[in-house]
Chain A
């Protein structure tokens, strides 16, 4: 984990990089989140000063978009598509199963910090539903069994990296 000081330095560097880009706030927030994993409250004043915005404006943008997280998330983010095409193929059953087996709700992280569960509204994979996304990979035709396999895969990777 980065120390607070390192985080602040990293954020200042990114602010410097994006401050003159027209409409640069979203790219900046994405960059910080990619770097640190979330958008810490302590970053808001630095961003506001750098982009000549009020803290309220920065906070307003962060809170508007589903992608931006203000708290640390799990090492893996699992998104389950809740949109209609996936519903037509049983995603309601899949999401109930996911919540039950992982023991968490949407917006929560497993106690071991391995998996955060999020809803998503369409991954554009609607001809082969239900779909889920794990980090940057999308999986098609995910029934409960395949979901369990994919989750055990994440646990094995976790074990291997230790």
Chain B
């Protein structure tokens, strides 16, 4: 029997290491796998038996002797027995493409990766021209998973078409939105998939150097990525003359330093260059003048990871998932006040209500859900009337909400939406790069004005002022930081006016 206990951040944060120690004390050396993303079951102990992989969770070190006894007799008699892991509904109902391998084995084991179809996409790509690879990505309909949802193939085409002796592939792993962790799970559970995607991107556009810009808040991912890169170099999947092809691609992880704004691609490039993470004006696009002024592909972790399966299975297979212009799968991250939080990979089109009620099973507190914030700190707070919106980029944009990176944060009925609106402005104060006035100063004034409204100080006029201020920030800021901070603020006022002591949303506010 083989035992698996994850080395994922959340599993570790819930005591996975002490479970591993308890197993070792019983003479068992567990495989430290990645997480399946069913975080309410972590630490999830899996056991490969003659009849398949069964699970127990959430386990503590104290449960180990009992589980070992049960395994000798009747495993299903144990209270924490979950049955075959892949038949757990939460997981079985998903459409796992990018996260197909997550949790199956040791994320750093190259043999395991290859046994599960790893590097098949790369070996196909090594036999193709750059244009052929770019065409595959275009045909797949893949759009950037970082938040802006720009078609990846078009970005790649621009970089391919731009002349330059040196080009770069930059992976944006500065996953700063609250409620998101899909990039982290991918990097911790299946780092070679990201590496493979980046090498393919390099082959496609003619780049020989890649950087993963990783946030410093992810120490576990940092450690695992560095080991994975070292092993990929040793096995010649990175470096010079990759697999005897004559092609070169070098990869390095660079650590951020706690600035949310560096998730914005131009600020990220500045930071990678060793500067303050100040947002650049566009144009020029990074695809034309990016890192160190050279043509650069900047893509999110999940975008680059998806590339390997697109190349392996073909563009059409990927295109078959989803609806409208949102193709493929979306990594939904269910977080906040939720009973069953975790990672849910599904084709686009599932509704928010299905995710929160069917997968999430309601709030952790057991109280009614009041508001849902989708897409991170710059996303709108959605009231119940909007929960039947299908999760697709265009459907969300139509109601002034955004899917962003797919994070869903659930709040119960104790949430104070005026306090949340104030926090949105406060966060912008802390994290603004300071380049443009509407964001840098507007956010400070925003906090003050919301304080006055809540204190019932000249409320009607201050509401008009806040509305004006939101307009100025939305239309006058260089990037989404200042430009979208008004979204959570306005939605809080519009849909939860009682928290601002308003009679109705229309009073003194358009």
Which residues in A have some Cβ–Cβ distance to B below 8 Å? Answer: 22-27, 29-30, 51, 57, 60-61, 64-68, 83-89, 92, 120-129, 131, 133, 136-141
- The verdict on A137 contacting B341 (CB below 8 Å), with A65-B277, A84-B420 known, is no
Q: Is B334 an interface residue (CB 8 A)?
A: yes
- Name A51's closest neighbour in chain B (CB-CB): B274
A25 to B254, CA, bound (A): 11
Task: Tell me if B276 and A60 are in contact (CB < 8 A).
Answer: yes
Task: Tell me if A131 and B176 are in contact (CB < 8 A).
Answer: no
Give the size of the chain B interface in residues (CB under 8 angstroms): 61
- Name B185's closest neighbour in chain A (CB-CB): A124
- Name B272's closest neighbour in chain A (CB-CB): A23
Q: Is B321 an interface residue (CB 8 A)?
A: no
Task: Tell me if B276 and A64 are in contact (CB < 8 A).
Answer: yes
Identify which of A67, A86, A88, A137 contacts B12 (C-beta below 8 A): A137
Chain B residues numbered 352-400 whose CB sits less than 8 Å from any CB in chain A? 364, 373, 377
- Name B220's closest neighbour in chain A (CB-CB): A138
Q: Is the interface of B mostly helix, strand, loop or mixed?
A: mixed
A88 to B147, CA, bound (A): 22
Q: Which residues of B contact A120 (CB under 8 A)?
A: 217, 258
- Name A24's closest neighbour in chain B (CB-CB): B274
Q: Which residues of B contact A24 (CB under 8 A)?
A: 274
Q: Which residues of A contact B183 (CB under 8 A)?
A: 124
- 6 nearest interchain CB pairs? A127-B341, A83-B178, A25-B274, A126-B335, A65-B257, A66-B258
A64 to B377, CA, bound (A): 21
- The verdict on A127 contacting B13 (CB below 8 Å), with A85-B179, A88-B410, A122-B177 known, is no
Q: Which residues of B contact A87 (CB under 8 A)?
A: 420, 423
Task: Tell me if B178 and A126 are in contact (CB < 8 A).
Answer: yes
**Max count, chain B CB within 10 A of own CB: residue among A22, A25, A122, A140:** A122
Task: Tell me if A125 and B9 are in contact (CB < 8 A).
Answer: yes
Q: Which residues of B contact A92 (CB under 8 A)?
A: 419
Q: Which residues of A contact B7 (CB under 8 A)?
A: none
A120 to B276, CA, bound (A): 19
Distance (whole angstroms) from the CB of B411 to the closest CB of chain A: 5
Identify which of A29, A65, A126, A137 contacts B180 (C-beta below 8 A): A126
Distance (whole angstroms) from the CB of B503 to the closest CB of chain A: 27
Task: Tell me if B258 and A67 are in contact (CB < 8 A).
Answer: yes
Distance (whole angstroms) from the CB of B321 to the closest CB of chain A: 24
- The verdict on A123 contacting B217 (CB below 8 Å), with A25-B274, A140-B10 known, is yes
Q: Which residues of A contact B341 (CB under 8 A)?
A: 126-128
- The verdict on A138 contacting B257 (CB below 8 Å), with A65-B277, A124-B181 known, is no
- The verdict on A88 contacting B255 (CB below 8 Å), with A65-B277, A121-B427 known, is no
The 0/1 profile, CB within 8 Å of A marked 1, for residues 387-427 of chain B is: 00000000000000000000101111001000110010001
Q: Which residues of B contact A125 (CB under 8 A)?
A: 9-10, 13, 181
Identify which of A26, A27, A127 contacts B39 (C-beta below 8 A): A127
A121 to B176, CA, bound (A): 7
Distance (whole angstroms) from the CB of A9 to the closest CB of chain B: 23
- 27 A-B residue pairs with CB within 8 Å: A23-B292, A26-B255, A26-B271, A27-B255, A51-B274, A64-B276, A65-B256, A67-B258, A83-B178, A84-B409, A84-B420, A84-B423, A88-B337, A88-B409, A121-B178, A122-B180, A123-B217, A125-B10, A125-B181, A126-B333, A126-B341, A126-B407, A126-B409, A128-B39, A137-B12, A138-B9, A138-B220
Q: Which residues of A contact B409 (CB under 8 A)?
A: 84-85, 88, 126
Task: Tell me if A124 and B217 are in contact (CB < 8 A).
Answer: yes
